[in-house]
A = this chain, B = another copy of it.
Amino acid sequence: MAEASYQSISPSDFFYRNREIAGFSNPSRALYSAVRELLENSLDACEARRVPPDIYLRIREVLPSREEEGPEVYSLRIEDNGTGIPDEYIPLCFGKVFYGSKYILRQSRGTFGLGGTITILYGQITTHKPVRVASSIGKEIHEYEMMIDIEHNEPIVLRHEVHENRKGWRGTIVELQLEGDYSRSMNKIYEYLKQTAMVCPYADITFVDPKGRLYRFERATDQMPPPPRAVKPHPKGVDVETLRRMVASTRARNMKAFMMEHFQGVGEVTAERFLNTASIDPKTPPDELGPEDIVKLVRAANDFEEFNRPDPSCLSPIGEELLGMGIRKELNLTDADFLMAVQRRPSTYLGFPFIVEAAMAHGRSLARQGFSGITLYRFANKIPLLFDESSCVIWKAVNRNINWSTYLVSPDTPLVVAVHVCSTKIPYKSVGKEFLADQPEVEREITNAIRQLARHLRLYISRSIRMAREKRRLSVFERFLPKIAEFSAKLADKEEIPDITPLLRAVGADLEEVERRIKEVPQVVGEGC
């Protein structure tokens, strides 16, 4: 028989062995994931500080490739103007898997608290080079050079320097080396930055690529969406383990106080009514609850219908105006194009609040840029999702749930559909954060948002068709009436050709009027829901 050998591995070691599940499966994908993870951390840090992000990203070749194409060693540097990280947390934030600031109930791009550390880990195992981190929360600047002790999941600080901060700089700089393949990941990285600019029109992003090319995504506004707040949990989303922990650590003297203190939207009346439904005496001290009682409470909370809807203030949707602005900017739309954005009302799945926003664009500008058919942009908590499109519930909603021909959309109509789902808990199906599981409530909201936009689109398209027909009809008059007038004048031997303007007006040939009517089609307007 084969001998079994038992051992424990650290979380760092686990992700080192299984880095492909976090998106680091090969040099091309790894470079893309590294950019993504660091950029997301930077954007989160800027939004936490409530300043419009100024991000500088640079990828430089360190070791030239041995072949024409293939993996090379790059240096990746990112600078932001975010909150900065307090000195004492810097080594742990970047050198310990499962350590971070994302483990609270509030919308953020990061959910797993993994990305930064895994990027550094990947750099280390492919180049054996330390990472350099400089950060300031507005006081002095702390600079670290460090590596990760993968076997023990601990940071190893190689150098720590404190610099004066005369200009009062605040933010974080991360610089690391890693193996990557820029020629293969170039398009995805560019697309990722462009789509990020689309949902963050208040961000300034500068990117210098390994060939020295400069890409600038300039902000279109200083206005930022309202920041998310950390909230108490909703009773419907609670499970046995969470409740057990809350009961073990509470200072509430009885269950009624406990319910009111630890859950959102539970007042005196609701607390009492709920505890009665669950057959728990509101006067019971929390520490007298047995395991059976805890299970009973969780099951009762799931069934109880009188709780308030979850509080959406922990969410930070983009908003119809900003979403429309971002899309107009990145797709170079003109006023003649159709563009509309909607934000749905907050809803919930499994006790987690979520909001769906969607935008739709159509028109000549898209056709001129080569768009044909439906181009889908997927976003989750302001992160563009670029891979595994057809496994995603957003794709399903757009391609399976909508009968586009009812909306006068044919297979080659140039159409852009953008969908943004924000939630305290995005139902990702993998650590790589590329596609959403099909939670029925989320699917329904996405489908409804698209239908809502598509109804307006149909109006626009049918008007465009009518106007085009009208224009064709008028152009016939315009083209031939002068000829006829000229010909008639000749026939009648008259020198002067009669004025045909009154005649043209009579058949309705006022092109300006036609243009005006085309423009009446709504633009970037929300209609609520």
Chain A residues with CB under 8 Å of chain B are 1-2, 4-11, 13-14, 16-18, 20-21, 25-26, 48-50, 66, 83, 85, 89, 92-93, 96, 98-101, 103-104, 106, 111-113, 124-129, 150-151, 227-230, 239-241, 244-245, 291-292, 294-295, 299, 303, 350, 388, 390-391, 427-432, 437
Complex alpha-carbon distance, A432 and B93, angstroms: 27
B432 with A98: CB separation less than 8 A: no
Inside 8 A of A83's CB, which chain B residues have their CB?
1, 4
Please tell me which one of the listed residues B2, B49, B227 contacts residue A48 in the complex, with CB atoms under 8 A apart: B2
Complex alpha-carbon distance, A26 and B390, angstroms: 21
What are 27 A-B pairs at a CB distance below 8 A? A2-B50, A2-B227, A2-B228, A2-B230, A4-B83, A5-B104, A6-B100, A7-B99, A7-B100, A8-B98, A9-B99, A9-B103, A9-B113, A11-B14, A14-B98, A14-B112, A17-B103, A18-B431, A20-B427, A20-B428, A21-B428, A21-B430, A124-B241, A125-B241, A128-B244, A391-B391, A430-B431
B241 with A295: CB separation less than 8 A: no
Q: A2-B48, A10-B98 are in contact. Are A127 and B437 (CB under 8 A)?
A: no
Complex alpha-carbon distance, A244 and B98, angstroms: 24
Complex alpha-carbon distance, A4 and B21, angstroms: 27
B245 with A151: CB separation less than 8 A: yes
Inside 8 A of A100's CB, which chain B residues have their CB?
6-7
Complex alpha-carbon distance, A150 and B240, angstroms: 12
A1 with B295: CB separation less than 8 A: no
Please tell me which one of the listed residues B99, B125, B227 contacts residue A6 in the complex, with CB atoms under 8 A apart: B99
Inside 8 A of A350's CB, which chain B residues have their CB?
26
Q: A240-B126, A429-B430 are in contact. Are A437 and B230 (CB under 8 A)?
A: no
Closest chain B CB from A61 CB (angstroms): 15
Nearest opposing residue in chain B for A113, CB measure: B9
Please tell me which one of the listed residues B11, B103, B303 contacts residue A7 in the complex, with CB atoms under 8 A apart: B103
Q: Report the 8 A-B pairs with minimum CB-CB distance, sorted nearest first.
A: A125-B241, A430-B430, A4-B101, A128-B291, A8-B99, A128-B240, A6-B89, A391-B391
Inside 8 A of A111's CB, which chain B residues have their CB?
18
Inside 8 A of A98's CB, which chain B residues have their CB?
8-11, 13-14
Nearest opposing residue in chain B for A390, CB measure: B390
Complex alpha-carbon distance, A17 and B101, angstroms: 15
Nearest opposing residue in chain B for A18, CB measure: B112
Nearest opposing residue in chain B for A244, CB measure: B128
Complex alpha-carbon distance, A244 and B156, angstroms: 15
Inside 8 A of A390's CB, which chain B residues have their CB?
390-391
Complex alpha-carbon distance, A455 and B27, angstroms: 37
Complex alpha-carbon distance, A244 and B148, angstroms: 13
Inside 8 A of A21's CB, which chain B residues have their CB?
428-431
Complex alpha-carbon distance, A66 and B301, angstroms: 13
Inside 8 A of A128's CB, which chain B residues have their CB?
240, 244, 291-292, 294-295
Inside 8 A of A48's CB, which chain B residues have their CB?
1-2, 4
Complex alpha-carbon distance, A85 and B8, angstroms: 15
Complex alpha-carbon distance, A228 and B3, angstroms: 12
A427 with B8: CB separation less than 8 A: no
Inside 8 A of A49's CB, which chain B residues have their CB?
1
Complex alpha-carbon distance, A40 and B302, angstroms: 32
13 additional contacts, CB 8 Å, given A2-B48, A4-B83, A11-B14? A4-B48, A7-B99, A7-B101, A8-B92, A8-B99, A9-B98, A20-B428, A21-B428, A21-B431, A127-B240, A128-B292, A430-B431, A431-B431
Inside 8 A of A18's CB, which chain B residues have their CB?
111-112, 431
Closest chain B CB from A36 CB (angstroms): 16
Complex alpha-carbon distance, A391 and B128, angstroms: 34
Nearest opposing residue in chain B for A50, CB measure: B1
Closest chain B CB from A458 CB (angstroms): 30
Closest chain B CB from A93 CB (angstroms): 7
A8 with B96: CB separation less than 8 A: yes
Complex alpha-carbon distance, A184 and B413, angstroms: 40
Inside 8 A of A241's CB, which chain B residues have their CB?
16, 124-125, 150
Nearest opposing residue in chain B for A248, CB measure: B151
Closest chain B CB from A11 CB (angstroms): 5
Inside 8 A of A10's CB, which chain B residues have their CB?
98
Inside 8 A of A99's CB, which chain B residues have their CB?
6-9
Please tell me which one of the listed residues B291, B295, B429 contacts residue A432 in the complex, with CB atoms under 8 A apart: B429
Complex alpha-carbon distance, A498 and B141, angstroms: 113
Complex alpha-carbon distance, A253 and B360, angstroms: 67
B101 with A25: CB separation less than 8 A: no
Complex alpha-carbon distance, A4 and B90, angstroms: 13
Nearest opposing residue in chain B for A293, CB measure: B128
Complex alpha-carbon distance, A423 and B515, angstroms: 65
Complex alpha-carbon distance, A104 and B103, angstroms: 32
